[in-house]
Structure 1
Amino acid sequence: MSTPKIISVDDHILEPGDLWQRYLPERFRADGPRLVRLKGRFGTHARSRWREAEDGLWADVWVFGDVKMEILPGFAAAGKDQNYLGRHWEAMTYEDMRPGCYDRTARLADMDANHTEAALSFPTFPRFCGQTFHECGDRDLGLACVQAYNDWMIDEWCADEAYGRLIPLTLIPLWDPELAAAEVRRCAAKGSHAVCFSENPARLKLPSIHTDHWDPLFAACEDTDTVLNLHIGSSSTFPMTSIDAPRAVSLALTYQGASHAFADWLTSGVLERFHDLRVALSEGQIGWMPFILERLDSVWEQRPVYGNLDGRLSRPPSSYVRDRIYGCVFDDSIGLTLRHRIGMEQIMFETDYPHGDSTWPNSKAVFEKMVTEAGLSADEAYLLARGNAIRCFRLDRYGITA
């Protein structure tokens, strides 16, 4: 079987250090995010935070008001020795990472080396759905920072030689659904039809999707054919059983945010009100989906009043998945063996470049291993590698038709 070229629906970008200084209106530049080189180190505990220290190592740190965000090794692990990273958790400078982490031309070369034709990239400093700017007290500055990032994403990162290969993925001002809707429409007019959203807005102290608070945003996404992308961790939380548990525990449980979002979206009534809205659960894997579907359908059929589903939905929760909710995998053979309980047309592939979980530069081999282990046909392998991504994100508008 010939392996189709990959379309990755979840990669990441380390923003260029001068992004906001170049794209912000002049009146905001002095207060905008800037990259500063500082000395510091982590504490002795595995979950310690980085702090400035004269006897520490040099690190590139994003500074924005009271916020200081160092570059963690897991953000830019591509090409690094995993054993080394596991034992030496020190903040990085941009010189420490592959240029493909932040440079467009180098990124395209790294994609070529990884059998990858096209990719969407989530942000780093703004965090997965723009929480950094949501937490900014100055709303005018926060909005300007969101718009500056989006203009850079569309007009620079995804332009010229990268057009049709780097697919724009933009942010919204989370604090105002009307402003968010306006930004979705503005970006769609510029050519972006994918937007970051939180897996659980309630964890960000925002209204949940069980309210009608977000309806202006959802209507704008539906009107502009824009996909909502919910990355694990976009609720600013990650699963942890205990402070002294090894990192492996959190890595094994990262799917939980996506599973919570899956249950929310299937019971909220949003997909009944907005018939064409599409959602991608980025980096959430899929092996847990059949159980959640079975459980929700059971509650809907046998205990609708007890489950507070009576009147919310006109049909079983599982019936809202097809063409609406997409799971994203990078190494989930178990989930793929259960594909018929989910829908093969609802599963997309990702490489997660350049994060610590990334399969780069071996994504083709990882993909082929999953295809073999799950017994996928050639047609199913095509859907996983690229066909479903083309359909979900309507990539024909960028020249990707098959």
Structure 2
Amino acid sequence: MTTDGAGVTDLPRIISVDDHVIEPAHLFSTWLPEKYRERGPQPLTAGIGGLAYVGGKYRFTTDPEGQLTDWWQYEGEFFPYKRIIAAVGFSRDEMTLDGITREQMRRGCWDPVERLKDMDLNHVEGSLCFPTFPRFCGQTFAEAHDKEVALACVRAYNDWMVEEWCGDSGGRLIPLCLIPLWDVDLAVAEIKRNAARGVRAVTFSEIPTYLGLPSIHSGYWDPFFAACEDTGTVVNMHIGSSSQMPAASPDAPPAVQASLSFNNAMASMMDFLFSGVLVKFPRLTLAYSEGQMGWVPYALERADDVWREHRAWGGVKDLIPEPPSTYYRRQIYCCFFRDKHGVASLDTIGVDNATFETDYPHVDSTWPDTKQVAADHMAGLSDEVTYKLLRGNAIRMLDLPFDRDRKAADA
């Protein structure tokens, strides 16, 4: 790599495996079958009122005197868009829990044409986007009372994601679909429906039991994992996709939760490593999103230690035939965007297991300075390792249509 005063001049264009999309107001009126539209999510613009944190979710009320905000109303609940989830373009001191309208957001938050322009400004070629109103793995629909409408909403969201959000992007916007979390057979059907049109990524909860769902140890999810393995669909788990964030004290400020957010990814990975799922489904791929990676080396060391020293009484002697790190290296990807400690530990984390993200348009996003941030993290690494971290591993993980000549040469 060569450098100049601005950073790396020949840095590979980035493929971000964790970004976010703000849903356009027309999503459900366009993509939901007409018979469900009155009972489906309704967009509205209204002032935002009080805030409470209940059951792992922020709950807001409307207020005619409050900050004008774009909302979704669904089954009597109100879901506002907040500035921290559409933060690009604002200063750090302006990135608050205040409400925001789409007109106040940078248009790339919800317009795919403008998103591509913002990606070009940010040295990004490809982007995998998690949902906002449905929440990270579709919890909004899983919690709905009318599951017939909820299922129609999941399918409508996926149709919009594939055909409208990603449709005209030339493969640069990478589809990430939802499943109906409340029914594993319906989930399998949705995996197959989307895989048939080229989708290779689904979002899932890092800790399903926090959502009142069966654990990954129960066997309940095995048909889902089998469908993902059979179709080459990557299971993507975003921090917060369990609707709970870790904190030591119930009255701790949100900064504590933000600092500990990697904890859920670490707990989830341990769960999978000792579950037998990765043994049973050796071609299943897991991807942890926004958890960073500096914690991975000790987690693997501890998991292997426990397997070696405690597997008999620990209940995994016959379940996990090889050290847990074996399955991590074979089947799990982590990702990062600000983690120099993780980069310094790549020998343990694995240069083939790490991917990069920009987190656009959230408060943590490195936009529009991602190229400089990446260059700072890649300093001293070889061209080959830099390529893998910034795009090559993502291409391999998601089977993306980029760099075909390079992949053929490596084969």
Q: TM-score range by the shorter chain?
A: over 0.9
1:116 and 2:121 are equivalent in the alignment: no
CA contact (8 A) 1:42 1:48 kept: no
Deviation at 1:84, TM superposition (A): 2.2
1:384 and 2:363 are equivalent in the alignment: no
Which has the larger displacement, 48-57 or 261-270?
A: 48-57
Deviation at 1:225, TM superposition (A): 0.6
Question: What is the rounded CA distance, in whole Å, between the counterparts of 2:243 and 2:270 in structure 1?
Answer: 18
TM-score by length of 2: 0.93
The aligned counterpart of 1:136 is 144
Deviation at 1:288, TM superposition (A): 0.6
The aligned counterpart of 2:5 is none
Question: What is the rounded CA distance, in whole Å, between the counterparts of 1:40 and 1:392 in structure 2?
Answer: 41
CA contact (8 A) 2:184 2:220 kept: yes
How has the CA–CA distance of structure 1 residues 399 and 236 changed in structure 2, closer, same or farther, with 3 Å as cutoff? farther
> What SS does the aligned partner of 1:195 have?
strand
How has the CA–CA distance of structure 1 residues 16 and 301 changed in structure 2, closer, same or farther, with 3 Å as cutoff? same
Deviation at 1:190, TM superposition (A): 1.4
Deviation at 1:399, TM superposition (A): 6.8
1:210 and 2:217 are equivalent in the alignment: yes
Amino acid at match of 1:221: C
The aligned counterpart of 2:6 is none
Deviation at 1:390, TM superposition (A): 0.5
Matches within 5 A, 1:64-103: 64-86=74-96, 89-103=97-111
Question: What is the rounded CA distance, in whole Å, between the counterparts of 2:240 and 2:272 in structure 1?
Answer: 17
Q: Select which of 279, 302, 327 maps to 1:295.
A: 302
Which has the larger displacement, 241-250 or 295-304?
A: 241-250
Q: Select which of 62, 65, 68 maps to 1:52.
A: 62
How has the CA–CA distance of structure 1 residues 29 and 399 changed in structure 2, closer, same or farther, with 3 Å as cutoff? farther
CA contact (8 A) 2:20 2:361 kept: yes
Amino acid at match of 1:64: Y
Question: What is the rounded CA distance, in whole Å, between the counterparts of 1:274 and 1:248 in structure 2?
Answer: 37
Question: What is the rounded CA distance, in whole Å, between the counterparts of 1:369 and 1:378 in structure 2?
Answer: 14
Deviation at 1:55, TM superposition (A): 2.1
1:256-300 per-position Cα deviation (integer Å, ceiling 9, x unaligned) = 110011101111100100110000000011111111111111111
Matches within 5 A, 1:133-282: 133-160=141-168, 162-282=169-289
The aligned counterpart of 2:28 is 20
How has the CA–CA distance of structure 1 residues 212 and 397 changed in structure 2, closer, same or farther, with 3 Å as cutoff? farther
Question: What is the rounded CA distance, in whole Å, between the counterparts of 2:312 and 2:77 in structure 1?
Answer: 46
Question: What is the rounded CA distance, in whole Å, between the counterparts of 2:385 and 2:71 in structure 1?
Answer: 43
Amino acid at match of 2:389: L
Q: Select which of 12, 17, 27 maps to 1:4.
A: 12
1:28-76 per-position Cα deviation (integer Å, ceiling 9, x unaligned) = 000111211111234599x974322232121111101122111111110
Question: What is the rounded CA distance, in whole Å, between the counterparts of 1:195 and 1:401 in structure 2?
Answer: 26
The aligned counterpart of 2:371 is 364
How has the CA–CA distance of structure 1 residues 369 and 142 changed in structure 2, closer, same or farther, with 3 Å as cutoff? same
Cα RMSD, aligned residues only? 1.7
Question: What is the rounded CA distance, in whole Å, between the counterparts of 2:116 and 2:295 in structure 1?
Answer: 33
Deviation at 1:139, TM superposition (A): 1.3
The aligned counterpart of 2:4 is none
Amino acid at match of 2:270: A
Amino acid at match of 1:12: H
Extract unaligned runs of 5+ from structure 1.
none
TM-score by length of 1: 0.95
Deviation at 1:83, TM superposition (A): 1.5
Deviation at 1:211, TM superposition (A): 1.4
> What SS does the aligned partner of 1:321 have?
helix
1:301-352 per-position Cα deviation (integer Å, ceiling 9, x unaligned) = 1111222211111111000012310001010110111111121100000000
CA contact (8 A) 2:72 2:78 kept: yes
CA contact (8 A) 2:16 2:357 kept: yes
CA contact (8 A) 2:60 2:78 kept: no
> What SS does the aligned partner of 1:320 have?
helix
Deviation at 1:239, TM superposition (A): 1.7
CA contact (8 A) 1:50 1:91 kept: no
Amino acid at match of 2:38: A
1:62 and 2:75 are equivalent in the alignment: no
> What SS does the aligned partner of 1:39 have?
strand
1:203-258 per-position Cα deviation (integer Å, ceiling 9, x unaligned) = 01111111110011111111111000000000001122335433322221110110
> What SS does the aligned partner of 1:30 have?
coil
1:156-213 per-position Cα deviation (integer Å, ceiling 9, x unaligned) = 11112x0310010000000111110110000011121100000000001111111110
Amino acid at match of 2:76: D
Which has the larger displacement, 136-145 or 350-359?
A: 136-145
Matches within 5 A, 1:387-402: 387-396=392-401
Q: Percent identity?
A: 48
Question: What is the rounded CA distance, in whole Å, between the counterparts of 2:203 and 2:50 in structure 1?
Answer: 30
